[in-house]
Amino acid sequence: MLKINEIYFSVQGESTKAGLPCVFVRLTYCNLRCSYCDTEYAFYEGFDSSIDSVIEEVKKYKCNLVEITGGEPLVQNESLELMKRLCDEGFEVMLETGGSLPIENVDKRVMIILDLKCPSSKMKKKNLYENINFLKPIDEVKFVIGTREDYEWSRDIVAKYDINKKCEVLFSVVFGELEPVALVEWILADNINVRFQLQAHKFIWKPEERGV
Ligand code: SF4
């Protein structure tokens, strides 16, 4: 059994898939407490569901792109089986993970969006850097940046681990904390090879809206 917070149909707000229709399966629980978390409702709220029931629900939306998100999906071991089964069914599967738990056993067909937590999140010490060894070219690493210190830390981590030689690197702002123009100017001033992104869903709907 999995504890599911919500399943809904929306457009992908982030990553190189931004703008595409996508079914989101949000799993309950998170082992982190980021300073800017906008999904605290997923820490405990949820309902029990079998993998079969989740797949049945996903199929109702007739959309091939599915994202497993949270909370932190990898807190529940059964999320690995859910992702494998969705891949077997022919879905294009994405996983959004906070970067503190091992990705080693995630099905290799899954596109992983791996967060590395910046200093202002207050969760930097939880980053599991070993995960970088398991990144595939289809994966993406995301830095959510709230301050100049976060930016410099992210830039240096990308260089230290050569992350942009392994996969796409995404830099985005903490919504409401850092002006997008500041981050864009820093990226251009340093001329670094990362992809700036905005969280599209926060501009399409009200920033605090759930289920979008
Ligand atoms: S990892 Fe995601 S869900 Fe968990 S506390 Fe951080 S922002 Fe919130």
pLDDT digits (tens, 9 = 90+) for 95-148: 999 999 999 999 999 999 999 999 999 999 999 999 999 999 999 999 999 999
Query: How confident is the model over 48-67, as a mean pLDDT?
Result: 98
Q: Whose C-alpha lies nearest to ligand 1, atom 6?
A: 34
Q: What is the pLDDT of residue 209?
A: 79
- From the CA of 71, how far away is ligand 1's center (Å)? 6
Provide the domain limits for residue 38: 2-204
Q: Is 27 in the pocket of ligand 1 (CB under 6 A)?
A: no
212 part of a folded domain: no
Query: How confident is the model over 9-15, as a mean pLDDT?
Result: 94
Specify whether the backbone of 194 is left (phi greater than 0), alpha (psi in -120 to 50) or beta: beta
**Best of 14, 26, 27, 32 to mutate for ligand 1, by most ligand atoms within 8 A of CB?**
32
210 part of a folded domain: no
Q: What is the pLDDT of residue 40?
A: 95
- From the CA of 32, how far away is ligand 1's center (Å)? 6
Q: How far apart are CA 161 and CA 175, in angstroms?
A: 26
Q: Whose C-alpha lies nearest to ligand 1, atom 2?
A: 71
What number of helices (H) and strands (E) belong to the chain?
A: 6, 9
pTM: 0.96
Q: What is the CATH number of the domain that holds 63?
A: 3.20.20.70
Q: How far apart are CA 41 and CA 38, in angstroms?
A: 8
211 part of a folded domain: no
17 part of a folded domain: yes
Number of domains making up the chain: 1
209 part of a folded domain: no
Q: Whose C-alpha lies nearest to ligand 1, atom 5?
A: 33
90 part of a folded domain: yes
Q: How far apart are CA 65 and CA 49, in angstroms?
A: 20
63 part of a folded domain: yes
60 part of a folded domain: yes
Written as six digits, the tokens of 48 are 């029990």
Q: Whose C-alpha lies nearest to ligand 1, atom 3?
A: 71
**11 class by beta-carbon count within 10 Å (0-12 exposed, 13-18 middle, 19+ buried):** middle
Q: What is the pLDDT of residue 8?
A: 97
Q: Is 165 in the pocket of ligand 1 (CB under 6 A)?
A: no
